[in-house]
Chains A and B, each alone.
Chain A
């Protein structure tokens, strides 16, 4: 179950808990089904309730960046908790075009 919110052409997805390889596929499927039905101008991933993330989360971010890009939208990641900032920086996703 993923909480989402859509207004002003922005689809916000509130991620929570631990994001690892085990959970990534389900999260990916539910975000992509919303992207494809809503076709937002922007996708925003809110990480404020995420307690753990490994590189599976980076794969998830890059995959959604491509998915929303295919329909002409962009991706913003926001409310990154302190303990996730290291892996986000290491991944370089923001230099590839993901907004923060």
Chain B
């Protein structure tokens, strides 16, 4: 498949970089002329995925977070966010609304629910001890 555009970034999983990741993805999708609502959906989903890498993937250590994003000719944005952290043992359980393993940090357990609700497709793959990869996809309709 031909892509209209693509980009790759990596940054240390420090929580200050959650805002950085949102800014980068906003700038990247701008060429598709998304509505404010579409942009907010994408930023929120990316924020959830990056926060998951930082809070769950790496826990107390700081590892690298990778984002690979593409824009297709039919105006879809595909964003892959991955870490090389601890991985997820039971993906189905992790994706259940309100399930969290970081209750003491007041995590609501809604990260995946938000991603699924705000994006068209969410794909998660994970290997324990190797890391987790989340692929988010959304068609930019930009109808105002």
Contact = CB atoms under 8 A, between A and B. Distances in A.
Interface of A: 18, 20-22, 24-25, 28, 52-56, 58-60, 62-63, 83, 86-87, 90-91
Given A18-B19, A54-B114, 10 more contacts: A22-B15, A22-B18, A22-B19, A52-B44, A54-B48, A55-B108, A55-B111, A87-B44, A90-B117, A91-B110
Nearest to B43: A52
Interface of B: 15-16, 18-19, 22, 36-37, 40, 43-44, 47-48, 51, 54-55, 105-108, 110-111, 113-114, 117-118
Contact of B15 (A21, A59, A63): A21
A95 to B, nearest CB: 13
Contacts of A87: 44, 114
Contacts, number: 65
A22 B50 CA distance: 11
A55 B116 CA distance: 13
A39 to B, nearest CB: 21
